[in-house]
Amino acid sequence: MPAAFYLVLCVQALSTLADNAFLILAIARVMELDGAAWLIPLLKISFTLFYVLLAPFVGPLADAFPKGRVMLLANALKVSALLLLLCGSSPLLAIGLAGLGSAIYAPAKYGLITELLPARALVRANGYFESATVCAVIFGTVLGGLLVSRAMPHVELPFAGQAPTALAAGMLVLLAMNAVAMLLSLWVRDSGARYDRHSFHPLELLRRFAAENRLLWRDALGGLSMSVTTLLWGVGATLQLIVLRWAHEALGLPLAQAAYLQGVTALGVVGGAVLATRWVALAQAERLLPIGVLMGLLLPLLLCIHSAWTAALLLVLVGALAGFFVVPMNALLQHRGCTLLTAGRSIAVQGFNENAGMLLMLGAYAAAIALELSLSALILGFAFMVCAGMLLIWAARQRRLGA
């Protein structure tokens, strides 16, 4: 792997670490302000919204400029988000601005990987990338739990707005982390890849994006891999919040400790991703669909668990299956997208669909909380969606193979 890949990997890990800690801190801030329970999934929705709204535009943006400079802009927006939170702004507004930065950042970082590496190295590179990302998720959730715990020193900020906060020290830590990621982006080298110039008129971009979206969905392997990643990203984002609630209601854990338990799932994802890089070739990715069904069947076991250690073991197993399954699927989708489109545009299409799935699932979860549905009903419902969705995707693949 070239040195430029490892620098992008470092920036990605640091940025993801801060993003996941930011979510825990934003949840704590909502609770500190006595916000309604349904505001918590809205934090995740606010972070994700720009991935969908700006999908037609961020791909061309990533292809029009050196991707290191796009990453620099994205991390600068995340720095601005922390400054807003420190000044007393709404957590929804601050995390939304961070989401804007992440939406701009995504096609640049993944597009740069496809530009720097040959297709045969993409599964291995994605294994490294996903392992580093998931490690950042683990330590990010743990860091978030630490930043909202009583172990942090109390810091008084004269400009913290009308609602005082005990979370200022944590906000300063995240501000420093995002500032370092922004500075590291200055050293990300230009891959040298250049694409044909196209119109940046909004209507033209929307028409082009719709055509690119149709092209990738109609491709046999591209449509298969995107349907899998879209479903799993949506369920995974919602399950992240469900685990926090389940840890509180079933195990009696406060937010700080629930965040630690949530991060345990990512340990399994790292192991699964590493195994996938060793055992799964790009051409074998579509044979892994039964693993997705097995993941769904394991989720209801949470309802039978009343020990944190047993819960940790189950979550590690679910994470390992997810890592072993998603990494090859993501590599297959990137390869087909880069073949059919450009690196930046294909990642923008992928991000649009995956984050649209997340918005739908998170919206359903927020509505379920507002309707006061039980936790057991939520877990069973999401397990059913995983199993049913994977079975439908598997059936579609079988029809295509039999045609």
Q: What is the 3-state secondary structure (H, E, C) of 337-391?
A: HHHHCCHHHHHHHHHHHHHHHHHHHHHHHHHHHHCCCCHHHHHHHHHHHHHHHHH
Identify whether 356 is part of a domain. yes
Band (pLDDT 50/70/90 cuts) for residue 137 is confident
* Residue type (1 letter), 258: A
Note the pLDDT of residue 77: 95
* Cβ neighbours of 33 (radius 10 Å): 12
**Structural domain span for residue 238:** 3-184+204-402
The phi, psi pair for 65, rounded to 5°, reads: -130, 160
Note the pLDDT of residue 53: 87
Reported as a single tens digit per residue, the pLDDT across 72-130 is 899 999 999 999 998 888 899 999 999 999 888 877 777 777 777 766 677 677 777 77
Compute the distance between CA of residue 60 and CA of residue 63 in angstroms, rounded to an integer: 5
State the number of CA atoms in the 13 A half-sphere of 317 facing the CB: 14
- The mean pLDDT of the chain is 81
Strands (E), 87-168: none
Domain count, the chain: 1
Classify the phi-psi angles of 34: left when phi > 0, otherwise alpha if psi is within -120 to 50, otherwise beta: left
* Cβ neighbours of 41 (radius 10 Å): 25
Identify whether 195 is part of a domain. no
What does the pLDDT average to over 184-194? 69
Note the pLDDT of residue 78: 94
Identify whether 10 is part of a domain. yes
At residue 261, does pLDDT exceed 80?
A: no
Band (pLDDT 50/70/90 cuts) for residue 142 is confident
Compute the distance between CA of residue 333 and CA of residue 347 in angstroms, rounded to an integer: 9
* Residue type (1 letter), 257: Q
Identify whether 197 is part of a domain. no
Q: In angstroms, what CA-CA distances link 290 with 68, 322, 391, 392, 393?
A: 38, 12, 8, 11, 10
Tell me which residue has tokens 């073991």.
Answer: 313
Band (pLDDT 50/70/90 cuts) for residue 333 is confident
Note the pLDDT of residue 97: 95
Higher pLDDT, 267 or 178: 178
At residue 336, does pLDDT exceed 60?
A: yes
The pair of structure tokens assigned to 84 is 């807003």
Identify whether 383 is part of a domain. yes
Helix ranges restricted to H, 280-342: 289-298, 308-340
Identify whether 193 is part of a domain. no
Q: What is the CATH number of the domain that holds 331?
A: 1.20.1250.20
**Poorest-pLDDT segment among 120-124, 166-170, 256-260, 387-391:** 120-124
Note the pLDDT of residue 22: 94
Strands (E), 13-102: none
In degrees, rounded to 5, the angle at the alpha carbon of residue 199 between the alpha carbons of residues 194 and 203 is: 135
Higher pLDDT, 110 or 329: 329
Identify whether 189 is part of a domain. no
Note the pLDDT of residue 2: 67
* Residue type (1 letter), 148: V
Compute the distance between CA of residue 18 and CA of residue 176 in angstroms, rounded to an integer: 10
At residue 262, does pLDDT exceed 80?
A: no
* Cβ neighbours of 166 (radius 10 Å): 14
* Residue type (1 letter), 327: V
Reported as a single tens digit per residue, the pLDDT across 235-248 is 777 877 888 888 88
What does the pLDDT average to over 260-264? 73
At residue 157, does pLDDT exceed 80?
A: no
Note the pLDDT of residue 121: 73
Cβ atoms of residues 355 and 48 within 8 Å: yes
Band (pLDDT 50/70/90 cuts) for residue 189 is low
Identify whether 194 is part of a domain. no
The pair of structure tokens assigned to 305 is 């668990």
Band (pLDDT 50/70/90 cuts) for residue 175 is very high
Compute the distance between CA of residue 223 and CA of residue 231 in angstroms, rounded to an integer: 12
Strands (E), 118-275: none
Cβ atoms of residues 374 and 209 within 8 Å: no
* Cβ neighbours of 138 (radius 10 Å): 23
CA-based end-to-end distance of the chain: 40
